[in-house]
Amino acid sequence: MSAEIYGPEHRIFRETFRRFVANEITPNVPQWEKDGAVPRELWLKMGEQGFLCPWIPEDMGGLGLGFEYSVILNEELIKGDAYGFGVPLHSDVAVPYVESYASDEIKEQWLPKCISGEAIACIGLSEPGTGSDLAAIRTKAVKEGDEYVISGSKVFITNGILADFCVLACKTDPSAGHRGTSLIFVPLDLPGVKRRALEKMGSHMQDTAELSFDEVRVPLGNLLGKEGEGFKYMMAKLQRERLEVCIKSQVMAEECFKEGMEYAKERKAFGKPIGDFQANAFKLAEMATDIEFGRTFLDSLINDFINGVDIVQRVSMAKYWLGEMVNRIAYSALQLHGGYGYMEEYRICRLYRDVRALSIYAGTSEIMKLIVARNMGFSPM
């Protein structure tokens, strides 16, 4: 992030959180990767230290800090091998919908728990048959008396096994297309909710689930914002979600490059470090250049977002470019390791697995190109 928005308070926060990650998270990552989740106790420890939802206003029980603190948390989790820990999804993707659109009653009951770690959030957008096409969701919420009756399913839900509630996208008027989409706050301990853990290529310490809703009843007051406005709310908040993924992509690329650089200096072949061979040196030069471009682009986006500038077009460009870039960097860094890169004992092996999803979730690279093209006045099919 650009130096001009950093001050001493940011450096102190970063150093404090970096120590927390080093002591509480990094040593436990191998076990949590095997377990497929982090323990709830870690969420509570994060909350005790003020590391969850630090942006929530003070009058709602938060610290009222700027988005740059969320950037710091995201960066330091990745540097500490906690890429799969679903805190950014909780703090910067799901909870903002509650803060912006929930009733005062829901805010008063749930936001303090989101801050303390007593409640874990997830968001239910993607469905088995829709992927990135959010306008085509089929989960429905039908009014019966003073309740919504919800039926359907969601897939690829980060935090889905541990989560206490879901910000759920539903069709309240299936005949109205995307204008019939609404967002509903759904506690996940209700009758009719089922969860199925999903096994993934990477992000093994992240609990990811398929959620099923079989006539789940919630009060009409659990509607977030206005009925039929859900698609508009999602389009507004997806800027932040995609920026969060851009941060992940850039920092993961930097970490992969670091592993490649260190190995290229240490590993010797034919009597000299492998980085001294022209092919490898040129490849590292290309990687360094991509990372420099990526960091400059990302910092510009973060600054604009903090200053309230609309970044829909540029964050779509960045989400596409950075997601593809980090996969190129990871491939090249692993290739430099040769056979050792394929071994789980080497960090680059895990990094390589984990980055693959970055060009997929929060909108695939292809969907990002579609958004950019449409904003340029084209109608690609």
Query: 5: which 2 tokens?
Result: 């928005």
Separation CA 111–CA 53 (nearest Å)? 9
Name every residue whose Cβ is closer than 8 Å to that of residue 80 and which is 6 or more positions away in sequence.
18, 21, 22, 25, 26
Q: Which of 75, 227, 241, 259 is catalytic?
A: 241
Separation CA 117–CA 309 (nearest Å)? 31
Q: How many CB atoms lie within 10 A of CB 292?
A: 10
What separation in angstroms does the CA of 199 have from each of 205, 273, 320, 330, 356?
11, 38, 25, 22, 15
Do the Cβ atoms of 17 and 63 come closer than 8 Å?
no
CA-nearest of 1, 180, 162, 174 to 73 is 1
Separation CA 101–CA 327 (nearest Å)? 36
How would you label 312-323 residue by residue, b for 16+ Cβ within 10 Å and e otherwise?
eebbbbbbbbbb
Name every residue whose Cβ is closer than 8 Å to that of residue 63 and which is 6 or more positions away in sequence.
50, 54, 55, 56, 69
Separation CA 101–CA 319 (nearest Å)? 26
- Residue 229 annotated to the active site: no
- Kindly list the catalytic residues: 241
